[in-house]
Structure 1
Amino acid sequence: MKVIDLINANKKTAFSFEILPPLKGTGIEKLYQTIDTLREFDPKYINITTHRSEYVYKDLGNGLFQRNRLRRRPGTVAVAAAIQSKYNIRAVPHILCSGFTQEETEYVLLDLQFLGITDLLVLRGDKAKHESVFTPEGDGYFHAIELQEQINRFNRGEFTDGSEMKTMGTPFSYGVACYPEKHEEAPNIDEDIYWLKKKVEAGAEYAVTQLFYDNQKYFDFVDKVRKAGINIPIIPGIKPFKKLSQISMIPKTFKVDLPEELTKEALKCKNDQQTQQIGIEWCIKQCKELMAYGVPSIHFYTISAVDSIKEVAKVIY
């Protein structure tokens, strides 16, 4: 079953989460520990992030530096295959514009199709650390919708060079990202929703939100997209608040607001242990309200938050 089918077939709010591939050279066991910690809550699918190469500079010791490309977290395809094989849970690798040429994307699609992994989350991705604005890699894409179009052509049996496949495999299905508080580069929320609608018209079957802490922002967003004629599931992306330092870090990194009530409670905390408990309680309240609203699924972002997510899931699932 495709992810959209798993979501729609579930009688209660489905559980899913996102993981990062391990850092280069660190092995996969810690990732397995994350899955083992959360698998009791019956995840319908697991997303695996993809990370572009970055330029790093090696000091040659003679006043010169050598610029090299490095991927700190390779292995998205292999991790997806390992998860489906070891756990029999649907794996959903992210596929990006950022850092990939059209040919590199095509090879990723071929590898995934050979492995029987045919669910994707299609994203533009972030700009490189050395860039002031997003810049495609070679003949790669500026926008996720262009990447969708390549996937759609692949599904029709067409390679990027115009040649045709002799044998076609199972076509890919995919979701996309959306932003209740708008994408940081969008001039306004209406323009952001316009492009979400275009992505739906291009074939997106569901959308997963950027993390948020104010449910009213999500409810208002869903209301706007429904009025715009967008009828796919809008899956809330959730991450428990955990550290006091996140009061400034989260708005800066993710371009989202923290509710005044959450901020006030967090500022009363004397240490991160107390802050984590406040974050768990807030997340439980947030998820219960989303469930009462009727969301078909809740998607959790696990980085540095696995233990908190477990505590939340024990209450709500």
Structure 2
Amino acid sequence: MPLQYSFEITPNIDRVNLDGLLNLNPEFISITDRNHDMDNLLQSIQIADYIHANSSIDVVIHLTGIDKDEKRVQEMIDLMQQHDIHSVLALRGDKLSQNDTAVTFPHADILIEFINQKYPHVNITGTCYLNSSDEEMKWLRQKIEKGCTNLISQFSFDANDYFDYLNQIQIDTPIWFGIMPVIGKSQTQKMLELTHSTAPDELNALMNQHDDEFGEDGVQYTAGMINKIRQVGANHIHLYSLNNAENTKRIINKI
């Protein structure tokens, strides 16, 4: 099966980089934002309108549940429908505070079930996590049972994490494997801390060779990791574009 790829962007992307990503013809572009209120959705919808007007690329809007009730979820999806957006990435989202207890959607599977019941024509993507525990696998199966038809994985800088997950997973739902481009030392260290991960030897060597920006070496590392996981059966790649079309293009051209 030929490789398919998609990109993730944030709403503050500029027109030049958005046009550059559209020219690479991904299967879809997902739009994320840490603040998931209506104002931010309107900003994402403006981008979706532009994508629809200038390409045939599908748009996936990130939608968190922990900070919303049923009425707000419906308001947001209704607005998406008015702009021909029929795909969402359904997420639990981060707690607003440690005291959040009266939450309508405490888990992503409950949000997925609600969307599927109210909007059966909406395409629902969910998330999955490399190095999953048995408990996480249970939640993943529930997401699929309740209406999730695609998955996007957590990212890693170690190809072995993808190998292990492919050997572990026992589902037929398509998985788009999340890939975070390797840009520079400070960015990589920040992402390793965020995911509580340890850098593989090859990445450690790269960080030791550069003061910060990796340049072409970072492109080679990222593309090399994608090519490795392709060899063991990964056919869908979700690339975090970091709103940088040129770097994304250089990676795509090497896979």
**What whole-Å deviation, never above 9, does each CA across 1:190-240 have from its counterpart, x for those lacking one?**
1111111111111111211111111211121122221xxx22112111121
TM alignment of 1:6-155, pairs within 5 A: 11-22=1-12, 30-52=13-35, 75-128=43-96, 131-132=97-98, 135=100, 139-155=103-119
Choose the corresponding residue for 1:303, options 227, 237, 242.
242
8 Å contact from structure 1 (residues 19, 303) kept in 2:
yes
How far off its partner does 1:115 sit? 2.2
Match of 2:216 in 1: 277
TM-score, length-scaled by structure 1: 0.73
**What whole-Å deviation, never above 9, does each CA across 1:151-203 have from its counterpart, x for those lacking one?**
022126xxxxxxxxxxxxxx101110111034xxxxxx111111111111111
- In the alignment, structure 1 residue 293 sits paired with structure 2 residue 232: yes
User: CA 1:83–1:259 in 2, change beyond 3 Å: closer, same or farther?
Assistant: same
- In the alignment, structure 1 residue 250 sits paired with structure 2 residue 191: yes
Match of 1:216 in 2: 160
Counterpart of 1:236 in 2: which secondary structure?
strand
8 Å contact from structure 1 (residues 92, 121) kept in 2:
yes
CA distance in 1, matches of 2:113, 2:212: 48
TM-score, length-scaled by structure 2: 0.89
8 Å contact from structure 2 (residues 65, 92) kept in 1:
yes
Q: CA RMSD in A?
A: 2.4
Q: Which stretch shows the higher mean deviation, 44-53 or 193-202?
A: 44-53
How far off its partner does 1:251 sit? 1.8
Q: Which stretch shows the higher mean deviation, 284-293 or 255-264?
A: 255-264
How far off its partner does 1:127 sit? 2.9
8 Å contact from structure 1 (residues 52, 100) kept in 2:
no
8 Å contact from structure 2 (residues 25, 57) kept in 1:
no
Q: Which stretch shows the higher mean deviation, 285-294 or 302-311?
A: 302-311
Q: Which residue identity does 2:192 align to in structure 1?
A: P
Q: Which residue identity does 2:189 align to in structure 1?
A: S
Match of 1:161 in 2: none
Moved over 6 A (4+): 70-73
8 Å contact from structure 2 (residues 18, 245) kept in 1:
no
8 Å contact from structure 1 (residues 46, 91) kept in 2:
yes
Counterpart of 2:169 in 1: which secondary structure?
helix
CA distance in 1, matches of 2:243, 2:195: 15
Q: Which residue identity does 1:202 align to in structure 2?
A: K
Greater length-normalized contact order (CA 8 Å, ≥ 6 residues apart): 2
CA distance in 2, matches of 1:96, 1:313: 29
How far off its partner does 1:80 sit? 2.1
User: CA 1:175–1:15 in 2, change beyond 3 Å: closer, same or farther?
Assistant: same
CA distance in 1, matches of 2:153, 2:253: 23
- The structure number with the bigger radius of gyration is 1
CA distance in 2, matches of 1:151, 1:47: 18
Counterpart of 1:42 in 2: which secondary structure?
coil
Q: Which residue identity does 1:103 align to in structure 2?
A: K
Choose the corresponding residue for 1:241, options 161, 182, 190.
182
CA distance in 2, matches of 1:173, 1:112: 12
8 Å contact from structure 1 (residues 51, 71) kept in 2:
no
CA distance in 1, matches of 2:22, 2:43: 21
How far off its partner does 1:73 sit? 7.8
